[in-house]
C-alpha cells in the first residue's frame, strides 16, 4: 500500500498469497472470468478461477488517491521505485507485466485514473523502465565505464 506521502506499507509478504485481483465476475469483452490479456500472461492461473487465480502469481500494489482517482506526486514516485525494484528482482518487463486491476478482471475500473486514461498508465510503465535502467547504472558503475 502506498500512502499519499509516498510511504510504503507491506501488508502481505511477497511470498504469501494476497487476494487482490481475483474475480468471480465475467469480463465483458471475453465473456469469461479474467481478460484475454490476463489469461495470456498468467496461463493456467487465470484459466481455472475456481482452483487458482492470478493472486497466486502476482503482487498487488494499492495506491492511495485523492478525489477523482488522482495520485499525489509522492505516491507516483514511490510506485515507480517500488515497481522498478520488483521488476528487477523478478526479471519482469514493465511494459507487459505491470497490469491494472481492470486489465486482469476486465469489469472493474481500477485504478480509475489509469482505466480512464490508459496513456497515463503507459507513461507510468515507461517511467518504471527508465528507473530500472538508472538503478542498474547506479549499481554497476564499472559496467558503464567500459561501454
pLDDT single digits (tens) 11-70: 999 999 999 988 889 999 989 999 999 999 999 898 876 678 899 999 999 999 998 899
pLDDT band at 138 (very low <50, low <70, confident <90, very high): confident
- What pLDDT band is residue 143 in, cutting at 50, 70 and 90? low
3-state secondary structure of 70: strand
Q: Please tell me the pTM assigned to this model.
A: 0.90
Check if the beta carbon of residue 24 is closer than 8 Å to that of residue 17.
Answer: no
The answer to whether residues 28 and 109 touch, using CB atoms and an 8 Å cutoff, is no
**Stated length of the chain:** 147
Q: How many CB atoms lie within 10 A of CB 93?
A: 12
Radius of gyration of the chain (CA): 16
Cα–Cα distance between 54 and 38 in angstroms, integer? Answer: 8
β-sheet bridge partners, residue 103: none
Calculate the average pLDDT of the chain: 92
Beta bridge partners of 3: none
Q: Where are the alpha helices (DSSP H) in 1-106?
A: 36-42, 73-89, 94-97, 101-105
Residue 93: pLDDT over 60: yes
- Which segment of 68-72, 108-112, 142-146 scores lowest on mean pLDDT? 142-146
For position 3, what pLDDT does the model report? 98
Most distant pair of Cα atoms in the chain: their distance: 53
Amino acid at each position: 500500500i502506498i500512502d499519499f506521502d509516498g510511504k510504503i506499507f507491506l501488508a502481505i509478504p511477497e511470498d504469501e498469497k494476497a487476494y487482490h485481483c481475483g474475480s468471480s465476475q465475467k469480463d465483458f469483452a471475453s465473456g469469461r472470468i479474467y481478460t484475454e490479456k490476463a489469461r495470456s500472461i498468467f496461463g493456467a492461473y487465470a484459466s481455472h478461477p475456481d482452483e487458482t487465480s492470478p493472486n497466486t502469481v502476482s503482487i498487488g500494489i494499492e495506491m492511495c488517491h485523492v478525489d477523482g482517482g488522482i495520485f499525489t506526486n509522492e505516491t507516483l514516485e514511490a510506485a515507480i521505485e517500488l515497481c522498478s525494484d520488483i521488476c528487477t528482482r523478478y526479471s519482469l518487463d514493465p511494459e507487459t507485466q505491470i497490469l491494472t486491476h481492470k486489465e486482469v478482471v476486465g469489469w472493474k475500473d481500477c485504478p480509475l485514473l489509469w482505466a480512464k486514461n490508459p496513456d497515463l498508465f503507459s507513461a507510468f510503465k515507461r517511467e518504471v523502465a527508465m528507473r530500472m535502467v538508472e538503478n542498474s547504472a547506479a549499481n554497476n558503475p564499472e559496467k558503464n565505464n567500459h561501454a
